[in-house]
Structure 1
Amino acid sequence: MQKLLSLIFVFLFIFLAASCKNENQEVNSLESVNTTNEEIQKSELNRAPKKALTPEGIAISKSIMSQIMNERDLKRFASLIVTAEMATQLTKDGGAYTVFGPSNTALDSLADKNNKFYSKQENLDKLIDLLKSHIVEGEHSKESLSESISKSGKLKLKTLSGTSLILTKADDKIIISDNKGMKVKVLKGGEKGSNGTSYVVDGVLTAN
């Protein structure tokens, strides 16, 4: 009988010890949660409020250059613009522009020797000339281009490099021809930005 009482006492001792341990864990867990919540609240209070964009900042975020950089099919074209140090011109300088940017695939299709040629620092002027042959002054939305072409069957635009572009339509698509007979098709684009608009074309127009 004494042995049985001893076993019961041991069992009760273990049970009470386990209960106390669980209670301590729950308290510690609750304290940890409260501490974490307090830290989060302090962090949120100490966080600096977001600054509102200035009118200039809004214009830059909606500029042609921003459009080009955010268009996945113009990543390579955007890189060339930065290399040619023309990004500022398409961000906030001067008046409105319309850009007919060659797609990544179009630039990849250039002969390897041409890609190497335009990547060299000593040929920077030639790269600038090539890029300017894809840019015209003034803002030309897709609707205005279509209307102008419909009136006379074609529209002539002068690029920043001095070349002329002839725009026509075929199967409801806008086709652009340059001085040397190169023809490219407008794939997409035409949304108005703060200083013009941009398009994606499926080929590379020639420079002077």
Structure 2
Amino acid sequence: MWSSFAKTASLTVLAAGIAGSVFANPMVGGAPMYENKNIVENAVNSKDHTTLVAAVKAAGLVDTLAGPGPFTVFAPVNSAFDKLPAGTVDTLLKPENKAQLTKVLTEHVVSGKLSTATLMKRIKANGGKYNMTAVSGDHLTAVMRGKGIYIIDESGGASKITVADVNQSNGVIQVVNKVLLPK
């Protein structure tokens, strides 16, 4: 009797684990991302996004990105900021450069919730490119290269989505490998 119960309990735990891994948000920066938390509440826990979080705080965008949205945030990882010319991040974080920092950060935000499935459908429906307007007012273009989705900024820089569809209570984060820059 107990062995039958133990087998049933083990199968239930295994099934719950499989279901949890199928339906759970991906881990980002070693931290779980929770769909019931907003963009800021999740991003602060990612070890891969400490530079982005510091920049969002310096620009005064915490309340905006914690707001109702929905937003799609193309969130560059720390190594993306490291690829910028030496001193760029430190310069942008200075209080006197807040407007420029805000422009760079809002280049990474689009109104609405765009999953990668939605982006792929729109790319295919629009001849291989899907044009978006960032909150900054700049234009972004989503394209497919192989199996990857890239976001192209007005300067021609291409940033690949490396962790897709990190759902939030107020939108979605698409983790990217390069910083998008205004023209």
Q: Same fold (TM over 0.5)?
A: yes
Equivalent residue, structure 2, for 1:171: 146
**2:123 aligned residue (138, 149, 159):** 149
Distance 1:193 1:102 in 2: 17
Distance 1:196 1:61 in 2: 10
Give 5+ residue unaligned stretches, structure 2: 1-33
TM-score (norm 2): 0.75
Equivalent residue, structure 2, for 1:187: 162
Give 5+ residue unaligned stretches, structure 1: 1-58
Distance 1:130 1:191 in 2: 21
Alignment of 1:65 onto 2:40:
yes
Distance 1:87 1:101 in 2: 14
Q: Is the 8 A contact 1:60 1:91 kept in 2?
A: no
Equivalent residue, structure 2, for 1:103: 77
Matches within 5 A, 1:1-208: 62-92=37-67, 94-152=68-126, 153-208=128-183
Distance 1:89 1:61 in 2: 17
After TM superposition, give the deviation of residue 194 of structure 1 in Å.
1.1
Distance 1:100 1:108 in 2: 17
Distance 1:109 1:178 in 2: 16
The one-letter code sitting in structure 1 at the alignment partner of 2:103 is D
After TM superposition, give the deviation of residue 67 of structure 1 in Å.
2.7
Distance 1:174 1:121 in 2: 34
Between stretches 112-121 and 60-69, larger displacement belongs to 60-69
Task: Report which of the two has the higher share of helix.
Answer: 1
Structure with bigger RCO (C-alpha 8 Å, 6+ apart): 2
Question: SS state of the match for residue 149, structure 1?
Answer: helix
The one-letter code sitting in structure 2 at the alignment partner of 1:132 is T
- CA-based RMSD of the aligned residues comes to 1.8
After TM superposition, give the deviation of residue 60 of structure 1 in Å.
9.7
Larger-Rg structure: 1
Distance 2:77 2:62 in 1: 17
Q: Is the 8 A contact 1:157 1:165 kept in 2?
A: yes
Distance 2:46 2:90 in 1: 24
